[in-house]
Amino acid sequence: MEVARLAGVSITTVSRCLNTPDKVGKKTLAKVRKVIQDINFSPNVLAQSFRRGRTNIILVVVHEIGSWLFADIMEGIRAVVDGRYSIILTESRPDVTENGTFIDMLVARQVEGVILLCSPLPFSRKLIELAKSKPLPIVIGLEPVSDDLGQFPSVHIDNHQAAYDATQYLIRLGHAEIVFVSGPKNSYVTKDRELGFLAAMRDGGLTVDSDRVIHSDLSANGGINSAIEILARPSRPSAIFCANDDVAMGVMSVATKRGLRVPEDLSVMGFDDTRYAALTNPALSTVLQPARDIGMKAAQKLLQAIERPDDDAARTEILPHRIVVRDSTALRR
C-alpha cells in the first residue's frame, strides 16, 4: 500500500509491476520501481505471495482508529492472529472507503479476509457485491447485522436487551423523566439501543414521545451539543442515558458547567464501559460489552473461514453484556 501511495498508482498496478511488468507501461513501471528503490522495499516476498495466491494479511475496518472501544477489540484480534497474519487497519470514513485504492486492494485479493467493525453505506453494498463475484471471508464484529449483511458471520452483544436492562435500572432508581441520546438516525447499532430504551419505558408505564430521544454524533462533542439542547428545555429530565461513553462524558461536562450535580441533580448512564469510564468524575455508570472477547471471537471466526471454509459455524454469536454501576447514577430525589 505504501508503494502504491507514493507512486500515485493503484495497488493492482503495483501488483502488475511485480508480477507481469510486460503488461505495464514503461513510464508507470519506472515510477513504481523508483519508489521501491527509494524506500528500500523488497518486492520479492510480496511477489512470491501473489504467485502462490496468499498474502497472510487481514483487513480490519473500524469507525475511528482513536476510539478506546476499537483499541480493546484490536487487542482481542491481535491475540488470535499475531504470528499468523499481519493486520491492515483502516477507517470507515467516506474519503477512505469510497476511494479506488481501498476497493482495489480487496478486488486484487491482497487480503485473506476482512473483519468489519462498522458497516457504513455505501461501502457495505460494495463489499456485498465483491463477495458475490470474488468469494472473500468476511466477519462482522461489534455491530448487529443488518439484513443486507446477514450472509456474513457476526459477533456482538444484544444491543436491544442491553439498553432495555440499563433503562430498567434507571427506572428502578425512581427516574421517570429519562432522555436517550442516540447515534445518527442511520446507525444500525444505536437504533437497536434506541428501540430497547423505548421498549423499557413503555413496559414501565412511562410516557414515550419524540422528546425522549435525541440523535447525535457518537462523540464527546455530540454529547455536549445534545446536553445543551436537553438542558435548555423548560422541563429538565432527571436522567440521561447515552448511546456510548464518549457521549455521556460530553453530557456530564455540560451538566457540571451548568451547576448541576451528577448524580444528585442529574443521573447519567453510558454504554460500552471504555477505559475512561471508571476515571471520570464522578465515575460513569455504563453498560459493559466485552470488547476484547468480541475481537477474539471475530478473529477466530475469520480464521476458520479462511483456513477451514467447509466447516459449519454459527452465523451469529451473541456475547453477554453487564450493567456496571458506578457514581454517575443515583436514586431520584
Query: CATH number of the domain at 159-288, please?
Result: 3.40.50.2300
Write the pLDDT tens digit of every residue in 220-249.
999 999 999 999 999 999 999 999 999 999
What sign has the CA pseudo-torsion 39, 45, 50, 55? negative
Q: Extract the C-alpha cell encoding 222.
A: 455530540
Reported as half-sphere exposure (CB side, CA atoms, 13 A), residue 73 has a value of: 31
Q: Using alpha carbons, select from 275, 314, 323, 317 the residue that is nearest to residue 295.
A: 317
The percentage of residues in the chain with a pLDDT greater than 90, rounded to a whole number, is: 50
Per-residue pLDDT band at 326 (split at 50, 70, 90)? very high
Higher-pLDDT residue of 133, 62: 62
Q: Using alpha carbons, select from 120, 88, 128, 62 the residue that is nearest to residue 5.
A: 88
Q: Using alpha carbons, select from 169, 156, 163 the residue that is nearest to residue 181.
A: 163
Domain boundary assignment for the chain: 1-53, 159-288
pTM score of the predicted model: 0.80
Asked if 161 contacts 176 with a C-beta cutoff of 8 angstroms, the reply is no
Between CA 34 and CA 237 the distance in angstroms is 63
Q: Which residues contact 319 (CB under 8 A, 6 or more apart)?
A: 155, 156, 157, 289, 290, 293, 294, 297
Helix axis angle, 11-19 to 43-52, nearest 10°: 90
Q: Extract the C-alpha cell encoding 254.
A: 455540560
Q: Would you state the CATH architecture of domain 1-53?
A: Orthogonal Bundle (1.10)
